[in-house]
A and B are shown apart, each in its own frame.
Chain A
Amino acid sequence: MSLRYLKGVATLKLDAARCTGCGMCVNVCPHAVFRLENRKAIITDADLCMECGACALNCPVQAITVKKGTGCATAVRNGFLHGTEPDCGCGEDSGC
């Protein structure tokens, strides 16, 4: 399956100098964005990133940064209307 979202928008960054090659990012990424090469993680294709933030949160040496969020139009609209960060309002009776 080759479902891909918009090109060149993901905020994912990897600092190779900090990376210890533990492979946690490879383990947690749901879209196979990372690969280990010569004992370091590399980003194979940042356009596959959905900014879930799992890699950055689980990186023990803070080598990864990403502006974590949910790619959800309802959340963006709620955030815009209430002047807050995007909030999907998941809870009670919502769809997600």
Chain B
Amino acid sequence: MSMNGNENQFTTVTGTLNTSAGQIPSTSAEYKSADRLAAWKARWGIHRAAWLIKPGLYALGAPSAASPVFATANYKLSFDNLRRNLKGIDSWILVLNTKGINVWCAAGKGTFGTLELVRSIMETGLEKLLEHKSIILPQLGAPGVAAHRVKAYTGFSVTYGPVRAEDIPEFMRLGNKTSPEMREVRFGFFDRIILAPVEFVQFGKYILPAALILYLLGLKADAVLAAGALLAGSVLVPAFLPRLPGRSFALKGAAAGFSVVAALSPLLDFDLYQFCARTLIYIPIASFIGLEFTGSSTYTSLSGVKKEMRIAMPAQALALLTGLLMLAFRRLL
């Protein structure tokens, strides 16, 4: 499946298992350096679309008819995260076709959904393979799957497992029950900072060339400020999210942007007028990028984002325009 043709370096398929439902590819809990490199590349957006896992049923270890079934998405990071946490647990892994998207995003879109799960259960002949009729889903699959409908269509009962695969052994020890901690999505420093590369690359591909052009035009200070606004919105916002003021992401981005412009100002040869104009130009850019981080956050609602965008977008545009007019006005004098 991998476009760059080096799929064999990964621990996706390690062999086959002969079962009553035919030959099932087997996988392992082993996590190699090639898998780690793939995860790193995916986070930086390199060949992201290539990290697809073939949908279908996989055997991990030596599963029997009594072994548990875990469902996941056909995104390499999701699949790897599940299997590496199933060390010593003989089990079946059912990979749904989510078009290479992780479980939570796919559930939001409905591709990790009731119909795909029902189709997968039927197509893989899971019923013939097992003596039980239950399947464990990651809790974050719940926005796409109606457990009672799956039961009505297939007879399989869905149990929602923990949010994080690392809690699976403890979940099983508790008799397939989640604790409140296992059910709660976190958004700690590490969870946030691993998202920074994606944000940085997404906006860097426009802002860094623009900064280079500014630099070549002799506008060195503006080149530095443009890069600073990019850093503020894409790195400082994720890193310092709880410490930045307000609940609005646009406001947090603006605050990060202001900090960067203020921190850089001693290095820049600006008078107060020029400083104000630059502030009005670069803060909205940081604010805009900060607002985009709502898409990566784990707690923002659509209603909330709509509300803050109605205020933030015109404010950002107005500030940017005012800043540019201030600079143009001064040139004309």
Contacts and interface: CB of A to CB of B under 8 A. Distances in A.
B139 A27 contact: yes
A57 B242 contact: no
Nearest to B305: A71
A76 B310 CA distance: 10
Contacts of B147: 24, 58
Contacts of B249: 73
Contacts of B242: 1-3
Bin the interface of chain A by size.
Answer: 35 or more
A57 B146 contact: yes
Interface string B136-175: 0001101111111000000000001001000000000000
Contacts of A57: 142-146
Contacts of B160: 27-28
Contacts of A19: none
B247 A6 contact: yes
B45 interface: yes
B291 interface: yes
B249 to A, nearest CB: 8
B198 A7 contact: no
Contacts of B102: 96
Nearest to B306: A76
A11 B305 CA distance: 13
Interface in B53-90: none
Interface in A1-59: 1-7, 9-11, 24, 26-32, 48-54, 57-58
B303 A11 contact: yes
Nearest to A60: B148
A93 B148 CA distance: 34
Contacts of B145: 57-58
B332 to A, nearest CB: 34
Contacts of A86: 302
A30 B183 contact: yes
Contact of A50 (B100, B184, B247, B298): B298
Interface of A: 1-7, 9-11, 24, 26-32, 48-54, 57-58, 60, 67-77, 86, 88, 90-93, 95-96
6 contacts: A27-B178, A57-B146, A72-B295, A74-B295, A76-B305, A76-B306
